[in-house]
Amino acid sequence: MPDPDRISAADVLAWLRTYAGIIQREKEYLTALDSAIGDADHGINMDRGFQAALGKLDGLGEADIGTLLRTVGMTLVSTVGGAAGPLYGTFFLQLGGATAGRHEIGLADLLAALEAGLAGIVRLGKAEPGDKTMLDALLPARDALHGAVEAGLPVADAVARAAEAAEEGMRATVPLVARKGRASYLGERSAGHQDPGATSSYFLFRAAVEAWAAGRGEGGSAAGPGGSVSG
Ligand code: ADP
Ligand code: MG
């Protein structure tokens, strides 16, 4: 029976597979968002990268968490162009570096990995909060996860809170004027549209909710009382 406070390699694999599924399902939506303020390729880029990553993950066997995440990062860097490929690639490479050799982690480890991933995105992209980028979903999620660690919440509840915060952050990108990436070329005209990268970043947390609340890894249900899969 899965531990409500631990995340296993099987859980991470389930998360990555769920995310790839969401990206595939939402490919047109992400691309439509990117067509409003970019070049209409975000869904295509992400789907290409994650389908390639799935192929690599299938061949890994009983890999540790760091290897799973680094494999995704390397695949994204090598198969996805544009801004998002290197940014998400770096994010996953950093997540993998922070969890190298681990077959199981706790929520505090997940938070530390997320911090490393965020630092990688900031180092590479130099974006700040409010620039209308993926960071505007990821940073609120990080803060919510930090709060959940302090409160000693189980994993399923913690990621549910993080997903809510990411979704709010994603919605809050609508009125923003883009200051980084392709959308910034539009200046004021970028306002009034939801950022595609913030949307795909919100999906990272929605995938964790779906993968970890309903039934962790191989085993049975670890969703606590009221384990909330937000819709
Ligand atoms: P491209 O803009 O090169 O076509 P994508 O369409 O795949 O790449 O990704 C666009 C997304 O990348 C944006 O919606 C934004 O969230 C994110 N992004 C762009 N530049 C940056 C940056 N400097 N820092 C963080 N995220 C960025
Ligand atoms: Mg684009």
CA of 117 from ligand 2 middle (Å) equals 21
Q: Is the per-residue pLDDT at 2 higher than 90?
A: no
So what's the pLDDT on residue 214? 54
Kindly give the number of the ligand 1 atom that is closest to the alpha carbon of 181. 20
Residue 40 is encoded by which pair of tokens? 């209409």
At residue 8, the 3 state secondary structure works out as strand
Residue 159 is encoded by which pair of tokens? 């990621």
Looking at the CA of 132, which ligand is closest? 1
Q: Which residue has the least CA distance to atom 3 on ligand 1? A: 82
CB 217 within 8 A of CB 15: no
Residue 31 amino acid letter: T
Q: Is the per-residue pLDDT at 221 higher than 90?
A: no
Residue 208 is encoded by which pair of tokens? 């964790």
**Residues of the chain above pLDDT 70, percent:** 91
Is residue 134 in contact with ligand 1, taking CB distance under 6 Å? yes
So what's the pLDDT on residue 195? 98
Upper half-sphere CA count for residue 154 (Cβ side, 13 Å): 16
Mean pLDDT of 214-225: 46
Is residue 87 in contact with ligand 1, taking CB distance under 6 Å? yes
Is residue 133 in contact with ligand 1, taking CB distance under 6 Å? yes
Over residues 139-185, the pLDDT tens digits come to: 999 999 999 999 999 999 999 999 999 999 999 999 999 999 999 99
So what's the pLDDT on residue 222? 41
Mean pLDDT of 26-51: 97
Q: Which residue has the least CA distance to atom 11 on ligand 1? A: 197
- All structural domains of the chain: 6-212 (1.25.40.340)
Kindly give the number of the ligand 1 atom that is closest to the alpha carbon of 46. 7
- Cα 188 to its chain centre, rounded Å, is 28
Q: What is the mean pLDDT of the chain?
A: 92
Mean pLDDT of 103-119: 98
So what's the pLDDT on residue 183? 97
pLDDT band at 81 (very low <50, low <70, confident <90, very high): confident
CA of 217 from ligand 2 middle (Å) equals 33
User: Of the residues 26, 28, 29, 34, which should be mutated to test ligand 1's pocket, given the most ligand atoms within 8 Å of the CB?
Assistant: 34
pTM of the model: 0.93
Q: Is the per-residue pLDDT at 108 higher than 70?
A: yes
Kindly give the number of the ligand 1 atom that is closest to the alpha carbon of 200. 16
CB 33 within 8 A of CB 179: no
Is residue 39 in contact with ligand 1, taking CB distance under 6 Å? yes
